[in-house]
Structure 1
C-alpha cells in the first residue's frame, strides 16, 4: 500500500532470499510525520493487517528528515477527561498491545528525531536500532501532559524507574548513544536503515516459532516476574517440539552441523 494524504503510511511485504516474508511499515506523513488522527488511524489499520496475516518479521521506519516530531496537539484540544481516557485506551488496544503481541520479531529503525507517540511505539517493539543522528524524547510536559501510550512504564522496564522519571519529567531530548548506555536503544549504526533491514531479514530467516516463544516468556516476566515466566516456560517451550522447524533443525544439526537448518514454520 502506498502512502497518501488519507493513509499516510505504507505497508509493504516482500520475501528474503530464503523465501521468508518480511513486512515494512513506513511512516510517510509530510516533513514532520506528525501523529494526527489520520496517522493514528493508518497505523491502527496497518497493525490490524499485520495481526490478521503475520509475516515472519516486521520493520517500522520512517521517511523524511525525522521519524516523527510527535503528536499534532490539535488532537488534544477540547478533550474532557473521559474522552482523553478513551483515546489512550483505544491507542493501547489498537497499537501498543497488538504490536507487542505479533508472533514475530518487530524492529524499529530511528534515523532522526523520534518524539512522543513515535518513541512510545518504538518502545513497544522488540528491538530498537538508531542512527548516530537519531534523538529521542517524551516531551509531553510542554503541554502539561505525561506520556500516555506506555512510554514511562516501558522506559522503566528497559532503563530503570529513575531514568524513566528523569527522561519524562525533564522533557529533554536524548541522543542515541545515551539511550544505548541506558539500555533503551539496542545499537547505533551509521546506516540504520540498511542495518535494520539486514537484521529483519536475518530474523525472518530464523525460527519464528521460537522467537514467538521468547516473546511469550519475556511478556510473562514483564507481567508477573521470574516465577511467572518460569511457570509458563515449560508449556511455551515444550510446544516447539511439535513444530517442523524444531524437528528439521535438530535433524540438520545432527546430520550436517549447526547453522544449516532452513525454517519455514509460522
Structure 2
C-alpha cells in the first residue's frame, strides 16, 4: 500500500509530499503517517523541510468520517494528539516551508500555519471550513492565523468558513511568496533549497528568537538573544562567512556547511 505521506531528501533538503489521491484527506492513516515522519525528522533534523502535495488539490481537509467515528468522551484526547502533530512540526529547529499550489483546507491549512514560511499560487484557495460540520479548528489553526493576520481576520475566516485566495493571504501576511502555477513546484523547491543551503545554525537561532517573542514578547526574545547569538558566533559557517566578507566583500559566495 502506498503511504499517504512520503519523505524524501534532496541533499540537505527534506521533502514531505502528501500523496493520497484524489483529495489528500486527513484520515487516521494520514495522521499516523505525519506522526511517524515528524518523529523521524525530530530525531534527525534536515537543514530545511519542504512540504508539498501531489494531485489537483493540496488537501480537502479532514475526512468527515473522523468526526462521525470519534466518541465525545474520546474527543479531548483525540484532538490533543492532533495538536501535538502541529506542535512537533513547529518545534523543528530547521526552516520549514509549506507549498500550496491549490485548495488547502482545514488540517492541511493548520499545518501550513505551523510552518515558518508559506508559498502559494495567487489563485490557491485556503479555508478553515469546520463550520460546515458545526466544529472549530482543533489543530491550532485559529490561534496561529490570529498571530499572523490578527484576531479579527482569524475570526472572520473561521466564522464565515469562506475560502480565501493566496493573493489575499499574501496581503494579510499569511503567505510569504507567490509563484506562477507553471513553475510553482520548481520555484517552491528552489525557495526551500536556498534555506537548506544557508547558515543552518543562524536559521535555528532566528527560530529560537521568534519563538521566544511569540511566547513572551520583546522582553522574552531579548532574554534569549545574547546566549543565542553567542552560540552562533562559534559555528564554522559564521567564522567562514566573516572571513569571506572581509576578503571578498558582501557578495562573497561562501558555501555554508550547516555547522
Same fold per TM (> 0.5)? Answer: yes
* Contact 1:54-1:103 at 8 Å conserved across structures: yes
Match of 2:255 in 1: 262
* Contact 1:209-1:265 at 8 Å conserved across structures: yes
Match of 1:18 in 2: none
Aligned residues between the structures: 256
Alignment of 1:145-156 (within 5 A): 145-156=135-146
Q: In the alignment, which of 1, 6, 9 is matched to residue 10 of structure 1?
A: 6
Q: Supply the distance in 2 between the matched residues of 1:161 and 1:250 (Cα, whole angstroms).
A: 41
Q: Supply the distance in 1 between the matched residues of 2:101 and 2:258 (Cα, whole angstroms).
A: 32
Q: In the alignment, which of 26, 30, 48 is matched to residue 35 of structure 1?
A: 26
Alignment of 1:168-187 (within 5 A): 168-187=158-177
Deviations 1:26-57 (A, max 9, x none): 00001100000001111111111111111111
* Contact 2:15-2:49 at 8 Å conserved across structures: yes
Q: In the alignment, which of 143, 159, 167 is matched to residue 149 of structure 2?
A: 159
Match of 1:26 in 2: 17
- SS of residue matched to 1:77: helix
Q: Supply the distance in 2 between the matched residues of 1:126 and 1:252 (Cα, whole angstroms).
A: 28
* Contact 1:253-1:260 at 8 Å conserved across structures: no
Is 2:75 aligned against 1:84?
Answer: yes
- SS of residue matched to 2:217: helix
Normalising by the residue count of structure 2, what TM-score does the alignment of the two structures yield? 0.96
Displacement of 1:133: 2.8
Displacement of 1:262: 1.8
Q: Supply the distance in 1 between the matched residues of 2:131 and 2:186 (Cα, whole angstroms).
A: 34
Displacement of 1:194: 1.5
Is 2:203 aligned against 1:211?
Answer: yes
Structure 2 portions without partners, runs of 5+: none
* Contact 2:123-2:167 at 8 Å conserved across structures: no
Q: Supply the distance in 2 between the matched residues of 1:78 and 1:66 (Cα, whole angstroms).
A: 25
Q: Supply the distance in 2 between the matched residues of 1:12 and 1:129 (Cα, whole angstroms).
A: 19
Displacement of 1:89: 1.3
Alignment of 1:1-266 (within 5 A): 4-5=1-2, 7-15=3-11, 21-93=12-84, 95-190=85-180, 191-258=183-250, 259-266=252-259
Normalising by the residue count of structure 1, what TM-score does the alignment of the two structures yield? 0.93
